[in-house]
Structures are given as C-alpha cells and as structure tokens.
Amino acid sequence: MAVAPRLLNLLLVRGSRVGRIVEVEAYRGSADPASHAFGGRSRRNATMFGPAGHLYVYFTYGMHWCANVVCGEVGVGEAVLVRALAPVAGVGEMWSARPAARQERDLCSGPAKLCQAMGIDGAHDGLDLLAAGGAVQLLDDGTPAPRHPGNGPRVGISKAADRPWRWWVPGSAHVSPGRR
DNA sequence: CTTTGGATCGTCT
DNA sequence: GACGATCCAAAGG
C-alpha cells in the first residue's frame, strides 16, 4: 500500500491512447476484507498473487472491467486499483470507445470508464506493464507524484470502508466526481 | 444540483 | 443462489 500514492502522475499507455493516473485505491490481500484476495487465491484473482508490475483486470456487475496494478511480492496478493486518468493522447479514440461520455472529464473519471476509454478488458489480465512493447504499459515521463496527495476512504465497497486507502492528485478535474 | 433504480453475469458458497 | 472495487438515464428539488 505504501506504493499506491507513488503511482500518481505515471502514464498508462495503450497503443496511441495515453492517460495520466490521477486517482488510485490500495487493496491489501489477505489483510483486507474488501480485497478480492481476502480469503485466498482463486481462479479470478490469481494475477494479484503474481509478480508486481503486472496488470490485474476483473469483470464486475455483469458489465464492467476494472484495472489494477499488482504491487506485492509473489504470493502476497496486493494490488492498486486505477480509479481515474487524465487523458493525455489519443483522446479521439477514447471518445469513440465511450459514446456515453458527455464531457472530456467523463472519459476516464472512474475505474470502469477508463477501461472502456482505453480499450482494456479481460484479454489484458496478467500482462507485464513494465515490458517494452507490451499492449498496455506503465511509463514515467518524469512528472513526480504529488508531494501532498489527497487521501481518504475508499469508494464503492461495503467492507472495511473506513480504511483511508484512496489517493488522488489534488484538484484534478478528472478525479471521480465529488471525490476530489 | 441530488437521488434512485435498472442493467447484467462471472465468481464463489 | 446471492452478490458485487460500477455506470447511466431519468426523475425530483
């Protein structure tokens, strides 16, 4: 979880589409009742227990994909959910992928929205975000993480909802509405 | 602006 | 068989 705020301001790259990470949430394996990894490894969450730097994509509510960056050691099951991006490049493609968006800030201001905009789905589960030439990559363009990131409770969970494991870039218009 | 309910199905018990 | 790490459109103030 210590690494979660350090993901802020990194770039998520998928082909010509690029977004800057502006909101994340940490999920801590077996120590965290809200985590998919709570209760051990299973078919769906296997990627969480793999090497750090890989992409964990899961399907939820019968229609949505969400993307996480695996952050723990092998066998631990820690991951960080990417909740929002600021579009940087390929914005036209994002609009095509997300006809429901009304304003640019709606393109990637939510975990399922950004997967839609970026074209990320279950086919990308388990791939290495740090490998050169990968379909989805995590890059550092030199922009440092905020010195004092926003910090507060996680969103959309019923268990352990009080743990302040959500971080965001203060003031970013692309953070989920009502949460910046 | 806020609140509400529907959509929709893989996963685990 | 129940329940989501959600989103959106519609309705109400």
Distance A107 CA to B1 C1' (A): 21
Domain with residue A153: its CATH number is 3.10.300.10
The nucleotide minimizing the C1' distance to residue A154's CA is C5
Q: Which nucleotides of B are covered by protein (CB under 7 A)?
A: 2, 7-13
The nucleotide minimizing the C1' distance to residue A122's CA is B10
| Number of domains chain A contains | 1
Does the CB of A2 sit below 7 A from strand B? no
Domain contains A176 = no
* Claim: this prediction has a pTM higher than 0.85: yes
- For A62, the domain range is 4-141+148-168
Whose CA is closest to A77, among A42, A43, A37? Answer: A37
Given a cut of 70, whether residue A92 has pLDDT beyond it is yes
Domain contains A41 = yes
Domain contains A62 = yes
Domain contains A173 = no
Domain contains A124 = yes
Cα–Cα dist A67/A13, whole Å: 13
Residue A176 pLDDT: 76
Distance A104 CA to C10 C1' (A): 22
Distance A131 CA to C7 C1' (A): 32
Given a cut of 70, whether residue A97 has pLDDT beyond it is yes
Domain contains A17 = yes
What residue is closest to B2 (Cα–C1')?
Answer: A178
**The one-letter amino acid at A129:** L
pLDDT band at A42 (very low <50, low <70, confident <90, very high): very high
Given a cut of 90, whether residue A33 has pLDDT beyond it is yes
Does the CB of A42 sit below 7 A from strand B? yes
Domain contains A102 = yes
Domain contains A101 = yes
Whose CA is closest to A150, among A129, A174, A166? Answer: A166
Residue A37 pLDDT: 97
